[in-house]
Structure 1
Amino acid sequence: MTEGERESIFKEWVAQYKALLFKVVRAYAFNTEDQDDLFQEIAIQVWQSIPSFKQEAKVSTWLYKVSLNTALRWVKKTNKYQSNLDSIDDEMPIIDKSEHADERLDWIYEKISRMDKVDRSLTLLLLDGFGYKEMSEILGIKASNVGVKIHRIKNQLIKESKNYASHGI
């Protein structure tokens, strides 16, 4: 693969799957600076991994796997994500926050951010319409376990959403 081919693939994938990448970024990084850093880490990892893409999975599935694994490594490396939950820095963001002006979306991302890493990853994959088999391949867990976990996540979010709605938010 030539450098030009790699660059073309990279640009195409980032343009086509930008929303997927930003979902992962927003679920694992909580202020603008960290989101910018994580997006850069994911972009670098995607760039470096393009030659190893074997087309055994859909591009979106492969990108999710690369993005989630990169995000999990980034969280472990920085080891500061929890303290940054309430910190917001609006200087020169990569992610246009106006796209996320819906307070319900902010609420769901906040709930997702408080989940453990497997539940958080499953929730993002579910929101993007991945099937249990694809989720199990991406995360390396059994499809039956995916089903049980998703059932529990849904029940918890339904319960919490009732509290959210009853407080007039």
Structure 2
Amino acid sequence: MKEQFLLLLDNHRGLIQKVCNMYCNATQDREDLFQDIVLQLWRSYPTIRGGSKVTTWMYRVALNTAITRLRKETKGERFAELGPEAFQVPAVEGGSSEEMAAMYRAIRRLSQVDQALTLLYLEDCSYREMAEVLGISEANVGFKLNRIKAQLRTLISKA
């Protein structure tokens, strides 16, 4: 069981790092959160269900751990800001780095849950996977994504 878990971690290390990048600015905070997520994954590993994808389970545990830690954080600013490295999205053809920076600034202004949903969307997760990770209905995922897109358009146009 231990070997399978370590192999799973090795294969999906990038998933955990993206969540850590989303919720932490400082390297030390990212490393601490990474360890917290790995610990929570290990604790819940025996309960993994075969019905959902492993990455869905990992996102759920990682995002819940990050959001829970964020809520407990007394200094707020240590975790709250989303840096441009969080999504690691390659530049869109024809899009300038200024446009990308504006997008990242707009994403930073979203709620933590909306940032998580945006990450899952950018990772090309299906509505079903997003719903499973966040514990909401697929219809709610669609509603929230439409609201987020409109919110991002407004935030970028005001920038």
Q: State the TM bucket, normalised to the shorter chain.
A: 0.7 to 0.9
The corresponding residue for 1:69 is 64
Change (3 A) 1:16 1:84: closer
Verify the 8 A CA contact 1:27 1:109 in the aligned structure 2: no
Q: Pick one of 17, 20, 31 that aligns with 2:12.
A: 17
TM-score (norm 2): 0.77
The corresponding residue for 1:91 is none
Q: Pick one of 32, 41, 64 that aligns with 1:37.
A: 32
Point out the more displaced range, 62-71 or 19-28.
19-28
Pairing 1:122–2:108 present: no
In 2: Cα distance, 1:34 partner to 1:110 partner: 21
Identical counterparts, % of pairs: 36
Q: How many residues align?
A: 150
In 2: Cα distance, 1:147 partner to 1:106 partner: 25
Shift of 1:110: 4.8
RMSD: 3.0
For structure 1, the residue ranges without an aligned partner over 5 or more in a row are 89-95, 165-169
In 1: Cα distance, 2:104 partner to 2:41 partner: 24
1:142-157 correspondence to structure 2 within 5 Å:
142-157=137-152
SS in 1 for 2:25: coil
Verify the 8 A CA contact 2:41 2:61 in the aligned structure 1: yes
For structure 2, the residue ranges without an aligned partner over 5 or more in a row are 92-96
Change (3 A) 1:84 1:62: closer
